C-alpha cells in the first residue's frame, strides 16, 4: 500500500490524516496516511527511515525548517520560503520539498470571495508562517502587502527578501495608518490567547476582512477582536489547512479533489 504520513511534535491533534483519508475515499485512491511523531532531536533520522518505503509526507511544527534542509530538490517557492510542509520521494530516490501553505491560503481566500487584486493587505508576523505566504500573496497582484511584526527588524528582513517580487514593505505595528482591505494574522499570538497590539483604525467597519491562519473550536482571539472592531468578515485557518492538503494530494495522486465537502465535514466534527 502507498504510504504517506504527517510529521510533527506533538502530532496527536493533527487533522491532516482525516483530511487525506477523506480525499482518498472521495477519489477511490488506495493509500495509507498516518500521523508520525518524530522526536524533537530526531526529525532527520525519522524522515530518512520513513522514506525508505514512504512516498510522501506533510510536515508541521516544529520541523518545517529542518525538512527544508533535508531536501535534495526544492520548488522555487519553497526555496524562498525557507520551510517546507510537503516532502515527496521522486522516482530517482531524491527528496523533493514544496511549501503549499501560501497556495492553500490564497485558495481559501478566493473560495471565500475575498478580492486580492489591487487590495491593501496587512500581514501580521514575520516568522516561518508569514514567510511561507508572501510569494503566493504577491502573485495575486495586491496594491500593497504591508508586513508588521512585534520585532520590527524581522519584518524589514522579510520585506527586503521579497521586494523584487512585488509591492511588499515593512510597517511598525504602532504606526499603522488607515484601513486595510484584508488583515492576515500569521503570528503565534493566538496560541497564547493574545492579539498583536494593533490600532483599531486598521479596520474599516463593514469593509475589512480579517483572516487568522490559526483555527480553534470557537473564535480565535484575533478574530474575536476583529469582529468587535466591526470587521466585515472573520475567517479562520481551517480552510487553508484543507487547501494546502489538497495541493499535496493532487500532486501525489494525480487526481482532482473537491475541498468544500471535506471542510464542511471538518467543521461538523
Ligand atoms: P511560526 O513558524 O508559526 O511563524 P515563529 O517563527 O516562532 O513561528 O514566529 C512567530 C511569530 O509570531 C513572530 O512573528 C512573533 O513575533 P516576534 O518576531 O516579535 O517574536 C509573533 N508572535 C508570537 N507571539 C506574539 C504575541 N503575543 N504578540 C505579537 N506577536 C507574537
To test ligand 1's pocket by mutation, which of 187, 194, 240 has the most ligand atoms within 8 angstroms of CB? 187
> In this predicted structure, what is the pLDDT of residue 217?
87
> In this predicted structure, what is the pLDDT of residue 43?
98
Q: How confident is the model at residue 76 (pLDDT cuts 50, 70, 90)?
A: very high
Mean pLDDT over 121-135 rounds to: 96
> In this predicted structure, what is the pLDDT of residue 175?
81
Task: Provide the percentage of residues in the chain whose pLDDT is more than 70.
Answer: 100
- CATH code assigned to 102-236: 3.40.50.720
Spacing, Cα 125 to ligand 1 middle (Å): 6
Query: Domain extents for the chain?
Result: 2-99+239-267, 102-236
| Dist CA 53 CA 267 (whole Å) | 33
Per-residue pLDDT tens digits for 112-126: 999 999 999 999 999
Per-residue pLDDT tens digits for 253-268: 999 999 999 999 999 8
- Predicted TM-score (pTM) of this structure: 0.96
Nearest to 82 by CA among 63, 68, 70: 68
Mean pLDDT over 214-231 rounds to: 95
Given a cut of 80, whether residue 158 has pLDDT beyond it is yes
Which is the closest atom of ligand 1 to the Cα of 61?
2
Domains 2-99+239-267 and 102-236 share a fold: yes
CATH class for domain 2-99+239-267?
alpha beta
Indicate which residue's Cα is closest to atom 18 of ligand 1: 151
Mean pLDDT of the chain: 96
Q: How confident is the model at residue 206 (pLDDT cuts 50, 70, 90)?
A: very high
- Greater confidence (174 vs 66) lies with 66
Q: Is the CB of 193 under 6 A from ligand 1?
A: no
Q: Is the CB of 62 under 6 A from ligand 1?
A: no
Active-site positions read 64
Q: Which of these ranges, 57-61, 100-104, 176-180, 200-204, has the smallest mean pLDDT?
A: 176-180
Given a cut of 90, whether residue 190 has pLDDT beyond it is no
> In this predicted structure, what is the pLDDT of residue 210?
98
Given a cut of 80, whether residue 153 has pLDDT beyond it is yes
Amino acid at each position: 500500500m502507498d504510504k504517506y504520513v504527517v510529521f510533527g511534535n506533538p502530532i496527536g491533534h493533527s487533522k491532516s490524516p482525516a483530511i487525506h483519508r477523506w480525499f482518498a475515499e472521495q477519489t477511490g485512491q488506495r493509500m495509507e496516511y498516518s500521523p508520525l511523531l518524530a522526536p524533537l532531536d530526531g526529525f532527520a533520522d525519522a524522515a530518512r527511515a520513513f522514506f525508505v518505503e514512504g512516498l510522501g509526507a506533510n510536515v508541521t511544527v516544529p520541523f518545517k525548517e529542518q525538512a527544508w534542509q533535508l531536501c535534495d530538490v526544492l520548488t522555487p517557492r519553497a526555496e524562498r520560503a525557507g520551510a517546507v510542509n510537503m516532502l515527496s520521494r521522486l522516482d530517482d530516490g531524491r527528496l523533493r520539498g514544496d511549501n503549499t501553505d501560501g497556495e492553500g491560503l490564497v485558495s481559501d481566500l478566493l473560495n471565500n470571495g475575498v478580492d486580492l487584486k489591487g487590495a491593501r493587505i496587512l500581514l501580521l508576523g514575520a516568522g516561518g508562517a508569514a514567510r511561507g505566504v508572501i510569494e503566493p500573496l504577491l502573485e495575486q497582484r495586491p496594491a500593497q502587502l504591508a508586513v508588521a511584526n512585534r520585532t520590527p527588524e524581522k519584518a524589514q528582513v522579510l520585506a527586503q527578501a521579497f521586494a523584487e517580487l512585488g509591492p511588499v514593505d515593512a510597517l511598525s505595528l504602532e504606526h499603522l495608518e488607515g484601513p486595510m482591505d484584508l488583515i492576515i494574522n500569521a503570528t503565534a499570538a493566538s496560541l497564547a490567547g493574545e492579539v498583536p497590539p494593533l490600532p483599531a483604525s486598521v479596520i474599516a467597519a463593514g469593509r475589512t476582512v480579517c483572516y487568522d491562519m490559526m483555527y480553534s473550536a470557537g473564535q480565535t482571539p484575533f478574530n474575536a477582536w476583529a469582529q468587535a472592531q466591526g470587521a466585515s468578515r472573520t475567517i479562520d485557518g481551517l480552510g487553508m489547512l484543507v487547501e494546502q492538503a489538497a495541493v499535496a494530494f493532487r500532486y501525489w495522486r494525480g487526481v482532482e479533489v473537491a475541498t468544500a465537502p471535506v471542510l464542511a465535514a471538518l467543521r461538523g466534527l
